[in-house]
Amino acid sequence: MSDKAVFLDRDGTINKDPGYLGEPDKVELLPGVAKGISLLRNKLKFKIIVISNQSGITRGLISKSDVDAVNNKINDLLKLENTSVDAFYYCPYHPDFDPPDKTECRKPSPNMILRAAKDLNLDLSKSYMVGDVLSDVTAGNKAGTKTVLLRLDDSAKTNNLNYDEKTPNFIASNFLDACKFIQNDYLGNIS
């Protein structure tokens, strides 16, 4: 039997995004993230998988070990709340610096989600992708997950967008709002 997952973008979705984050001591979780991940992982039994573009590596601004250190710090902070991320996937490439065969992992491509699904035996039809930009939504839609677009400002006035593959199933005003949608949708509490 395969597991279900919530795929999360990293910078701007679960932690503040100062741009090319490479220093663990600068990691700051966004409000509600630890509580939301705890709900999804501990109560609803979703695997929590981070799917992140990290082109700062190919740009020479951060290293793979910097990204790994930041990811470890995120889990250290989450463990203080008795939860964690199950796996981190990231694409270190960018089309301005790397050949097309290397950049195939980069969102909006669904490749990282598909790889995680294969690696971890995940059922994408029971899974969700949450992110703060449309490339996150597109990646989730292409992979066959339901999608949530986080709008942490007042630009989310409606849930009715017409962007074809960029259309999310839900627009959330904050991380906990996204988690509550996933909980209600998964439990069948949405008409």
> How far is the C-alpha of 110 from the C-alpha of 135, rounded, in Å?
10
* Closest to 4 (Cα-Cα) out of 52, 41, 50: 41
**113 with 51: CB under 8 angstroms?**
yes
In this structure, what token pair is assigned to residue 15?
């932690």
Catalytic (active-site) positions:
9, 11
Taking only Cα atoms into account, the Rg of the chain, rounded to an integer number of angstroms, comes to 16
* Closest to 9 (Cα-Cα) out of 32, 26, 33: 33
Task: Identify the residue whose tokens are 């979780």.
Answer: 29
